Amino acid sequence: MLKRRRLLFSLLAILPVIAIFAFVRVYPISEILRLSLHKWDILSKKKPFIGLKNFQELLGDRLFHEALFNTSIIAFGVLLITIPLSLVISALIFHRTRSRFAAFYETAVFIPHVVSLVPAAMAWKWIFDARLGPLNAFLSLFGVQPMSWLFDPVLSIICVIVLCSWQALGFAVLIYLVGFKSLPVSVYEAAKLDGASGRQSFWHLSVPMLKPITLYVSVVTLVSAFNVYAQVYVLASDAQGAPGRQVRVLVLDMLENSFRNYRVGYAASEAVVLLAIVLLLTFVQFTLLRDKRAAR
């Protein structure tokens, strides 16, 4: 009797939350899967089922290829900068935990992660600006010719990578710091007694022991970089009326297909590709983690 009443209470209490959750998460996710198999152009009422035709078209879509390629380059570029740099920075901050300035280091590294995206991107846009930007002025001190960073196809991707890494770094450092704090002190003391230098303990103790954290941070960084949009929107959109070169990324291509070309079904199939990439990355993370646990 009492047990049943408690069950009833729990179901009644959680019901509204479940209803909201189903409406704003579960339903749209199932909808995106369904739409990807249909041809739906906003203007027409009919939504015929066309099987995998959308995905077949994606295979031959040059703009989609460009978007997929750029997004992957950006994601792995951010990963390559963020992981080594954050590992070193967090090791140094952890080493100086008792320093008076530790709070400053943490805050300074973390602030780019929390500030609004658009104003931050605006700051970088000015830095990269070909005529007025301090970057070209700085490089000219070394005799480097001014470059139009945001208008060159390769350079503009590098700019996006720099901006995204600048933002991703704080999160990675924070998670690594949590990791460093959880490492057993005794192992380091033993290593020190055996005459290991700080650098040696870093390479042979910290790096291997932090592997699960590295895996986690890598996947989170990659997944969020695959969803890059605002940074590209500000840095590489047609700014100031000039025909700036766009760096096409997945989310941009998807929104353009949906809201400019009115091809919702086709955009949905792009979203499914994005989802597949994210699931693959998560799957790889779990497999590697399990292998590691099994090996122990």
- What's the burial of 245, exposed, middle or buried (CB within 10 Å: 0-12/13-18/19+)? middle
Return the range that interacts with other proteins (CB under 8 A); candidates 44-52, 70-78, 99-107, 152-160: 99-107
Nearest to 164 by CA among 66, 274, 77, 277: 77
Say which residue the tokens 């941070």 belong to: 217
Choose between 157 and 210: whose C-beta lies nearer to other proteins. Answer: 210
Q: Which stretches of the chain are DSSP H helices?
A: 2-21, 27-35, 53-59, 62-95, 102-114, 117-128, 134-140, 153-182, 185-193, 198-201, 207-209, 211-226, 230-235, 250-259, 264-295
Choose between 55 and 216: whose C-beta lies nearer to other proteins. Answer: 216
Footprint (CB under 8 A) of other proteins, residues 173-212: 174-175, 177-179, 198, 212
User: What's the DSSP call for residue 241?
Assistant: G
One of 109, 159, 164, 225 touching other proteins (CB under 8 A): 109
Are the C-beta atoms of residues 36 and 269 closer than 8 Å to each other?
yes
Footprint (CB under 8 A) of other proteins, residues 8-47: 9-11, 13-14, 16-18, 20-21, 23-29, 31-32, 35
Choose between 76 and 94: whose C-beta lies nearer to other proteins. Answer: 94
Residue 130 binds to other proteins (criterion: CB under 8 A): no
Residue 251 binds to other proteins (criterion: CB under 8 A): yes
SS3 state at 80: helix
Residue 111 binds to other proteins (criterion: CB under 8 A): yes
User: Whole-number minimum distance, CB 105 to other proteins, in Å?
Assistant: 5
One of 112, 130, 139, 256 touching other proteins (CB under 8 A): 112
One of 55, 76, 110, 188 touching other proteins (CB under 8 A): 110
One of 139, 209, 255, 284 touching other proteins (CB under 8 A): 255
One of 68, 83, 127, 247 touching other proteins (CB under 8 A): 127
Are the C-beta atoms of residues 146 and 132 closer than 8 Å to each other?
no
| 198 Cβ contact list (under 8 Å, min separation 6) | 95
Choose between 149 and 226: whose C-beta lies nearer to other proteins. Answer: 226
One of 53, 282, 284, 288 touching other proteins (CB under 8 A): 282
What one-letter code names the amino acid at 238? Answer: D
Choose between 118 and 207: whose C-beta lies nearer to other proteins. Answer: 118
Residue 213 binds to other proteins (criterion: CB under 8 A): yes
One of 92, 144, 190, 207 touching other proteins (CB under 8 A): 92
One of 60, 143, 208, 241 touching other proteins (CB under 8 A): 241
> Rounded to an integer, what distance in angstroms lies between the CA atom of residue 278 and that of residue 116?
25
> Rounded to an integer, what distance in angstroms lies between the CA atom of residue 296 and that of residue 293?
5
